[in-house]
Structure formats: structure tokens, C-alpha cells
Structure 1
Amino acid sequence: MTPIASGGTGIAAAPRPARPARERGSPVALPAALDRPVRDDYEFVILGAGCSGLSLCHYLLEEGVDAPILILDRKTSFEDDRTWCFWDVEPTPFTHLARGEWSSWSFASEAGSVTQTTSRYPYKYLAGRDFYEHVLDRLAGSPNVTVRLGEGVGGYAEESGGVGVETSAGRVLARRVFDGRGLPPGSAAFEEARRRSVWVPQEFLGRRIRTRRDVFDPGRCTLMDFSVDQSRGLRFAYVLPTGEREALVENVYLSETGTSRQGHRSEIGAYLEGSYGLGPGEYEVMGEERGYIPMTDHRFPRRLGERVHSIGMLGGETRPSTGYAFLRIQRYCRELARAVSAGFEEPPARVHPRRLDLLDGIFLRFVRERPKECPEVYRRMFAGVPPDALVRFLTERSTPLDEARLVRALPKRPFLALAVEALLENARGRRT
């Protein structure tokens, strides 16, 4: 998502050439080769055909795993309803699918604007349909993979030699289960994380628009524009222009209040008119995407059982202080696949430096407890930290020197107080 929101890969096969970009909006069809009859037992069952589930399966195949794999998801189609963004700090099998990239990005607030530019780490824009199409095409070439859509999972239980998975279509037995179904609001995992952690909801709605005249600068994206109305809670606009007449424009709340779907649309309309002079009849809405990302320092368990592993958001792959997840998901799923191919050596508990957990927790507390001061803090961060160092921090590839630069740019007194609070809480143990 947004920055409050993403060495080699060890992959033997070169990525397939990207297909010509299709118009966004249409769903991706499940290849017939993947819609196979379901067996009674599988080596691996992956719950959830989202970013983490499909990425894990992709990496398993690249590691040479040929045991039977079943992917289950209650959704009935692969809709083009999301976008992943990340800075290009390392190779992934999906980077070449990016529809857009920017070497310059801007920040704005009532106090002014800041533009950063670096050619070293471009900011990439990956459309949901391109990711789905590419991964499903790869999976369809492997006879050991089955994907079943429209099948919900009622639960699972470990038993002798495996895990019994109850689905809406019957029961299957798996040697191991990887749960990547996310953190849906109201679920037991969602409520536990909310109760036991520092919690800031990131709620957003984005509209893909096409204008009737040249408006946008395709050479620069807007990561955070806090010059919008803040009366309902901490809020910013996010703009990814893919041409002079096309852009994804998002309305983002970091607040429990948020707004309705129609409220988001109205606020996007007001932003387009106020910032770009675009009236309602001067652009066409080509598509829409909406999301809710819990930004939390909750310590999600990597194992949900002896043979059940959590991946994606459920495994803690959303960075607490930013909401980015794509690169964390790629890093962990790659390491997990390597562990599987090596006879299931224990994968690492995390794919980021432990010291960043404390920094994330402090920053998250600041957003929750001092939201009115956040626009100025972000402005100081963008203005006071060199772009390469800031990108490395946002992608968890920072050095201690990069982190020292960030700390120097931030107001000392409030962050020191929150650091003491975080350290004391960690010393006492997490909330019960």
C-alpha cells in the first residue's frame, strides 16, 4: 500500500516474459488445468489464494517441490481489486510485471511539500490482475497443483500423520497446512490482536480514473498528501499517475473513525477538484479498490500447530509502522519454500532485523496517541532523511546509520517518552 501502508532470490528459472498489459478491471479466469478433481489427501494444503498463498506455491515449485499441493479459497474469481506497491530494493519473480514506476515522489501537508528523487530504488506499481495471471499461468504448468475456488474452510484439526481440513465440499487430509486467509475483521485472530497490541487501522478506498485532459505528472507520484481535511481523523491522499490522463487516487484514514464507501468517494472527488481542478464530468472512474490493513505490533505466531503454519497477514507479514506487506511476504515465502525443499528445516521466525520491531512499535504508538502531530513528523522525515536511506528504512533494509539519520530528523521528547513506554511494556510482557 502506502508508506504508511511494501542479493538474489535463489530462483533457478528465469521469469517468463510479461504479457502485454491488459485493461484493468476484468477478472482473471482460473486456468482449466488447475481445476482438477480433489483427492482425499495432499502433501500441502494452502488456505487462501491471495498474495501469500500464491507466492508460496510459486516458490515451492521453483524449489522443485513436486508433491501434491491444494489451494483453497472461498472467493469464486480472481478480481482485479487490489494493487501492491514496493520499492525495488531486491529482485522478486514479479517485479517485471510492474505497470508503473517512479524515481520521484512527493509529500505534502499544510506546512509545505517535499519531493525526493533517486534512481537507485524506484517505486513500483503492481496490478492485482497481472500478479494473478502470471502466477496462475505458472501454476497451471505443474500437474501437482490444484486450485479450488468457492470452497470455504470450516476448520482444521491435527491428527496422526497430518491435518484434517474441513471444507464446504468435504474433507481432505494434508501433511502440512499453510494458512494465508488474512485477518478478517471480527475473526478470533483479529480480535485477539486488537486486544493485545498497539493497533492503528489503515482504511482506504482507491479509484482508478481517466481524465479528459492532461493533468498528472507521470514522472512523480504522491505518497502522502496531508493537506486534506483532518476533521474526521488522520487522513491523507495517495496518487499513482500512470500517464498524464490516468492515475490511481486513494483516500486513506489512519483512524478508528474512517468513513463509508460513499464518504471515501466524495472525499476523493473533493481532492481531485481542489488539487487538480477536475470536476465530476472531467474524468471517468475505471475501477475501484478498497482495503482495511491492521497496523499492529502484535506478535503473530508462525505456527498454529505442529503441522500448521501462518503466512501473509496472519503470519505478521504486514509491517506495523507502514502497512506495507508485499516484500515481507516474498522474503518469508521464499525462505519457507527453501525450508520445505530441504526436508522442512525450521524457517526463520522473521525476515527483518529484530531492532526494527522496537522502532515500529514506537512509531505506531505515536500515530495512535498523537495523530494531529503526524503530518509534521512525516514532513520532517521526508525532508531530513536522504531518499536512499529512507527507502532502505521503509523496506527493512536499513543500516544503523540510516536509522540514526531517521532518529535525528524526528522530535526527540515525544519519541523518547514513547520509547520508554514500549520498553517497559516489553519488560513486563505483552498484554494478556
Structure 2
Amino acid sequence: MTQLSGPELIQADTLDDYDLIIIGAGLTGLSLVCWLLQLTKEAQVELPRVCLLEPRLFYGNDRTWCFWDRDPHPFRDLISHRWFRWRVSQGNQSIFQTDKSVAYAMLPADALYHHALAKIDSTPAFDLYLGFTVSGIEHTNNGMMVSANERHWRAKAVIDTRPPDANQLDSGVGVWQIFSGLEIACPKHGFDTSTATLMDFQTGYPYPCFVYLLPLDEDHFLVEWTAFQPGKNVVPDYRIDLESWLERQNLGHYEVTRAESGMLPMMPLPGYNSSGQLIRAGVGAGWMRAATGYHFVSCQRGCETLARHILTAHASGNWMLQSPTIRARWLDWMDSVFLRALKRHPDQAPQWFLDLFAATTGGQMSRFMNDQPRWHDAWAVANALPPRPFIRAVLPW
């Protein structure tokens, strides 16, 4: 994996005071400080002093974020590829959607990391501590105290972006999205570079498995094998399935230039619409869309709102922050129903997705997947799915 250097690791020999501590400097933590920079520049106000505590020692090109590119955010210029046509398929059946005004976009992790780390390194108000794993958070008379690696930091408020604990996950409702991906160099690979394949369902598996394919140009592509698996106790080596699929494509010689893998909980998480000096953010706060695993857009929306609250708190001195509302509650309810039906009828899921994309437009799907559907978008989605299994899935048994 390519190693990306971050700002020089700061030695915390004394107790330092900050306005804000952000636990975790992954997508959510880095996005939040970039939103703070952008909003203070627009409003010409003073930045709060911010400390970020991150357990990793280096940043690598370990993932890609994909989303429908509808809204502005601090990383929009870093998007590397856009597709205005996408499809879902199984066997000989393919459903295509297009939207001339909204693209399906890809943003590589290394580009975002380089950008955000450079911003932090050049901003005196921001300190990033690498290699620190938080072990404790305490309320004090003057604010909050955070402990990590036998050291301590004090601040007026804390944003906790760590992933969810196991006891937060409702495994009885959802599934795990488990994926293994490869970025490949293959001259004249033959895949249509104008089209992103979101789901190409594979047969012969007890739960939905599909290939996700992004042609980057005529000689490079990103491909992932993804499974919606009911549990994570036994995880097959999906790279073997992916390599078998690649062999069947008769590509000839190719080189693997990068690998990525992950496990996403497609499960409802409790809402954190609360106020206080300690706020959850990111996947652990339910920002990721449970029924899809998409997170980038909701993360940007949440970070923008949270950054505005932080700047208001810094100006007023009242550090009782408010958790942002990421999406409408009825969308979370729809996701819970869908996930319950998916878990009960995994064999029917491929046809459900084909019917869903066949019955909607590209604009409807991009709005729905970005958590910003109009009522007729949600109606089109609900109307595309078979009523019997979903009516039954409304009941929790």
C-alpha cells in the first residue's frame, strides 16, 4: 500500500487546551475540519482551536468513495472520474439509467487525504496527533477531558467519529456488506468506459453477490466482489471469487495495481439527535445509509451542519452542540423494511434491484440514494417493489 505522510506527529508532554477535540481523522474528521476552513473563509470569522486524535500512523490509498455528484463540498475538485450512465444486471438482463446533469462520481482516498492533511499542516489552529487511540472521555467542570496513550487533552466539546460498537448494531434486521476490490491495469480491457456497473448479480450463492465495475479509462478499471451476507462470523475469501470472475472475462494479461476490502454494517443504528458537549458523528452516529452502504454525501451534509454549529458555539461561548439531522425518519423506516425483507428473501433481491432501476429514472435514483428524494421519487421506489414480502416486512417478526 502506498504510504502517505501526515503532519508531523505532535508530542503531548503537557495537558493542552483546545476549543474542540475530534476523535478520529478518517473521512468524517477530515471532512469536518475542511468544512470549518471553508465556512470561516466565507464568513471571515476566527477558527476554533481543534485537536484531532487518530490511531493510524500513516494514510494510504485504502478505499474509494463513490456517490451521485449533486451537491457542492470541499473535495469536489478532487473527483477523478464521472459516469453519466449506470446499470444493474443479472445474466443477459441489464437495466440502464442515465442523467445528463448528475454523474456517478469516484473520489480516491489518497486525493482526499493529501488535500485534508495539507490543510491541517498549514493551519496553526489545527493539531493532528497520529498514533493515539482514545481510551477515555470525561465531563469536567470546564468542559471535556479525553485520554489516549496515557496522555490527556482538554476541550470545550468533543466530536466522536469512531465506528459503531457491536452492541449498537441491530443484526436481527440487516446484513453485512462485505467487499473485496482490485484496481487493475489491462490494455484495451473492452469494458464500456461510459457506464458504471453498480450491480452485476452472480448466481449460485445463498445470498446476494454482485460485481461492481468502474471502467477508469480504456486501460484501467476498478472491480469489486460484494456480498450482502447475514453474518460476519465466517467471511469467505471473496478475492478468490473475484479472481475467478476475472478469468472468465478473457482479459489476457493484466496487473493488479491496488487492492481494497471492507465490511459495512447495513443495519439500522440508533439516532443521535441530541445536544451537548459530546456529539457522535459519522458511521457510528447512523450517518451511513443502512440500505445501501453509501456514506460520502451524508457525511458532507452532516459535517457542513455540524461545522456551522461549532462556529456558532465558538462565537457565542455556548458549546452545547446539536447533532445534525442527516435524513428524514421515514427514509430510515423504509430502509429498515427493505433490510428485513432482504434478509428474509435473499434469493429474490437481484430481481428487486432490477425492477427498482427499471421503474425509476436516473434523477429519481440519484436523489433517493443521496437521501434527498422528493415524494414522487419515494413513491416510485416503493411502487417498484413487490407488495407481499414488503408488507410482511413491516412487521418485526
User: TM-score with structure 1 length normalisation?
Assistant: 0.84
Partner SS, residue 241 of structure 2: helix
Greater CA deviation, 168-177 or 122-131?
168-177
Asked if structure 2 preserves the Cα contact closer than 8 Å seen for 1:202 and 1:295, the reply is yes
Q: How many residues align?
A: 385
Q: Aligned equivalents of 2:166 and 2:341: distance in 1?
A: 22
C-alpha distance after superposition, 1:341-381 (max 9, x if no partner) = 11257535412222212211111111111111000000001
Higher strand share: 2
CA distance 1:48–1:30, change in 2 (3 Å): same
- Matched with 2:183 is 208
Q: Pick one of 357, 360, 365 that aligns with 2:335.
A: 360
- Matched with 1:8 is none
- Matched with 2:27 is 51
Structure 1 alignment gaps of length 5 or more = 1-24, 184-188, 426-432
Q: Pick one of 245, 250, 270 that aligns with 1:271.
A: 245
Q: Aligned equivalents of 1:171 and 1:31: distance in 2?
A: 20
CA distance 1:258–1:234, change in 2 (3 Å): farther
- Matched with 1:411 is 386
Q: Pick one of 307, 311, 314 that aligns with 1:341.
A: 311
Q: Aligned equivalents of 2:284 and 2:181: distance in 1?
A: 24
Tell whether 2:270 aligns with 1:299. Answer: yes
CA distance 1:62–1:292, change in 2 (3 Å): same
Tell whether 2:175 aligns with 1:194. Answer: no
- Matched with 1:148 is 129
Tell whether 2:260 aligns with 1:289. Answer: yes
CA distance 1:257–1:190, change in 2 (3 Å): closer
Asked if structure 2 preserves the Cα contact closer than 8 Å seen for 1:103 and 1:122, the reply is yes
Partner SS, residue 63 of structure 1: helix
Q: Aligned equivalents of 2:320 and 2:71: distance in 1?
A: 24
Q: Aligned equivalents of 1:401 and 1:138: distance in 2?
A: 41
1:306 shift after superposition = 3.7
Q: Aligned equivalents of 2:333 and 2:262: distance in 1?
A: 26
Report the residue type matching 1:155 in the other structure. G
Report the residue type matching 2:61 in the other structure. D
Q: Aligned equivalents of 2:127 and 2:288: distance in 1?
A: 27
C-alpha distance after superposition, 1:41-77 (max 9, x if no partner) = 2111111110001111112223335222111111110
**What percent identity do the matched residue pairs reach?**
30
Report the residue type matching 1:192 in the other structure. Q
1:26 shift after superposition = 2.2
- Matched with 2:105 is 124
Q: Aligned equivalents of 1:222 and 1:337: distance in 2?
A: 35
- Matched with 1:253 is 227
Q: Aligned equivalents of 2:228 and 2:235: distance in 1?
A: 15
- Matched with 1:22 is none
- Matched with 1:90 is 71
1:323 shift after superposition = 0.7
Report the residue type matching 1:406 in the other structure. V
Report the residue type matching 2:176 in the other structure. P
Partner SS, residue 266 of structure 1: helix
- Matched with 2:151 is 170
1:239 shift after superposition = 0.6
User: TM-score with structure 2 length normalisation?
Assistant: 0.91
Report the residue type matching 2:174 in the other structure. W
Tell whether 2:320 aligns with 1:321. Answer: no
Q: Aligned equivalents of 2:341 and 2:206: distance in 1?
A: 18
Asked if structure 1 preserves the Cα contact closer than 8 Å seen for 2:135 and 2:148, the reply is yes
Asked if structure 2 preserves the Cα contact closer than 8 Å seen for 1:302 and 1:311, the reply is no
Q: What is the CA RMSD across the aligned residues, in angstroms? A: 2.1
1:392 shift after superposition = 1.0
- Matched with 2:302 is 332
Tell whether 2:381 aligns with 1:400. Answer: no
- Matched with 2:348 is 373
Asked if structure 2 preserves the Cα contact closer than 8 Å seen for 1:106 and 1:222, the reply is yes
Asked if structure 2 preserves the Cα contact closer than 8 Å seen for 1:111 and 1:376, the reply is no
1:299 shift after superposition = 1.3
Q: Aligned equivalents of 1:367 and 1:382: distance in 2?
A: 16
